Amino acid sequence: MKTGIREMADGMYMITLPMPFRLKHVNIFAFLEEDGFTLIDTGPNLAGVLPALEACLAQIDRRVEDCRRILITHFHMDHCGLAGLIAGRSGASIWLSEIEEQTIRTFAREEDRASRLRSFSLEHGLDSGTLDAVIRAFSAFRTATSPFTATGILADGDQLNVGGRTVEIIATPGHSRGHISFHLPKERFLIAGDHILPHITPNLSPDLMVPSFRPLESFLASLMRVEDLPVATVCPAHGRPFSDLKRRVAGMREHHRDRSKLALQALTEGERTSGDVSRFIFGDHLPPFDRLLALNETYVHLIELERSSSIRRMMREGLCLFERVGS
């Protein structure tokens, strides 16, 4: 998708911003208000993104300084990276879920997070060279999120007036622990963030600061929450807006059923680490960061298979191994 701005409804715009990653872009949303505008998500604080946003806003006779409120789907850099800079220039308030607000605080504990990432990754079979490359990447991307403090909290079931429209907050955890989506019932829009994407499934990773979080279980439950909404258009953070929400939800559900079957198949020959299973599923030629994402997603499937008593885990020589039950 090309960088640009598209009117979705009267006074509601989708702004597509560039990113230097495999996904290439992120969609954010602007709602015109009497005295400025409200943003849903902001894009990352990376080279070229803020100028692209400013150019798009100029097409609707707005400036960054006119932003009055920022609503955030979740605390990932491509969704809230510019929030601090925009709020600093405009005085805009910043709103997100309580869980994501808590995540901001843990984000500041860089050494703790890096230590947990290193322990988890090595325990589950990621090689040290890949891990070192990933940690360097994380360090380099810290500046992609400009610091900010949340002004207010958005809770499941809240209703907001945004640009004269009623917007309902729906908790959709899975991709992140506190992810939220925005439902516009009259317009029949769902601004889904990373919860529902048109062509790929969002990555599901464990929250190393909250090990009890079950991303796959939460994600599937969140799909159930939205699949029967009377939505005509899903507005994703990546990819083009699309219709037929129910069909897309069914496809994502089937994808994860198939992924769990593959994970179980990988254990046919005996004990394996999450890293071994991820290489069976995704292959062995991924770049370093994608290897971590593949390991994470494999692990969240394995813990659900473990809870269903299909497999069990054991520790041996510092490695976490999984094996099939009854095999």
**What pLDDT score does 111 carry?**
76
Of all residues in the chain, the percent with pLDDT exceeding 70 is 99
219 domain-assigned: yes
**What pLDDT score does 113 carry?**
81
Domain stop point among 197, 225, 253: 253
- Please tell me whether residues 44 and 167 are part of one structural domain: yes
**Domains: count for the chain:** 2
- Please tell me whether residues 266 and 313 are part of one structural domain: yes
60 domain-assigned: yes
We report the CATH number of the domain holding residue 119 as 1.10.10
**What pTM, to 2 d.p., does this model score?**
0.96
- Please tell me whether residues 266 and 209 are part of one structural domain: no
Domain stop point among 227, 253, 279: 253
Whether 198 contacts 204, CB under 8 Å: no
**What pLDDT score does 106 carry?**
79
Residue 107: pLDDT above 90?
no
Kindly report the three-state secondary structure assignment for every residue of the chain: CCCEEEEEECCEEEEEEECCCCCCEEEEEEEEECCEEEEECCCCCCCCHHHHHHHHHHCCCCCHHHEEEEECCCCCHHHHCCHHHHHHHHCCEEEEEHHHHHHHHHHCCHHHHHHHHHHHHHHCCCCHHHHHHHHHHHHHHHHHCCCCCCCEEECCCCEEEECCEEEEEEECCCCCCCCEEEEECCCCEEEEECCCCCCCCCCCCCCCCCCCCCHHHHHHHHHHHHCCCCCCEEEECCCCCECCHHHHHHHHHHHHHHHHHHHHHHCCCCCECHHHHHHHHHCCCCCHHHHHHHHHHHHHHHHHHHHCCCEEEEEECCEEEEEECCC
144 domain-assigned: no
Report which of residues 125 and 143 the model is more confident about: 125
205 domain-assigned: yes
- Please tell me whether residues 62 and 210 are part of one structural domain: yes
Q: Residue 135: which pLDDT band, with cuts at 50, 70 and 90?
A: confident
- Please tell me whether residues 122 and 68 are part of one structural domain: no
Mean pLDDT over residues 4-21, rounded? 96
We report the CATH number of the domain holding residue 170 as 3.60.15.10
- Please tell me whether residues 103 and 114 are part of one structural domain: no
- Measured CA to CA, the distance from residue 32 to residue 39 in angstroms comes to 9
- Using CA atoms in the order 68, 73, 78, 81, what is the torsion angle rounded to 10 degrees? 40
Domain range for 270 is 110-139+257-324
Residue type, 256: H
239 domain-assigned: yes
59 domain-assigned: yes
- Please tell me whether residues 176 and 249 are part of one structural domain: yes
74 domain-assigned: yes
Q: Summarize pLDDT for 198-225 with one digit per residue, the tens.
A: 999 999 999 999 999 999 999 999 999 9
- Please tell me whether residues 26 and 123 are part of one structural domain: no
Average pLDDT, the chain: 95
Q: Summarize pLDDT for 80-103 with one digit per residue, the tens.
A: 999 999 999 999 999 999 999 999
Q: Summarize pLDDT for 225-281 with one digit per residue, the tens.
A: 999 999 999 999 999 999 999 999 999 999 999 999 999 999 998 999 999 999 999
- Please tell me whether residues 14 and 134 are part of one structural domain: no
- Measured CA to CA, the distance from residue 264 to residue 13 in angstroms comes to 44
Residue 142: pLDDT above 80?
no
- Please tell me whether residues 216 and 283 are part of one structural domain: no
Residue type, 209: M
**What pLDDT score does 327 carry?**
56
Mean pLDDT over residues 53-68, rounded? 98
- Please tell me whether residues 278 and 298 are part of one structural domain: yes
- Please tell me whether residues 19 and 99 are part of one structural domain: yes
Domain stop point among 253, 270, 302: 253
215 domain-assigned: yes
User: Which two tokens mark 22?
Assistant: 């495999």
Report which of residues 21 and 37 the model is more confident about: 37
Beta bridge partners, 316, equal 319
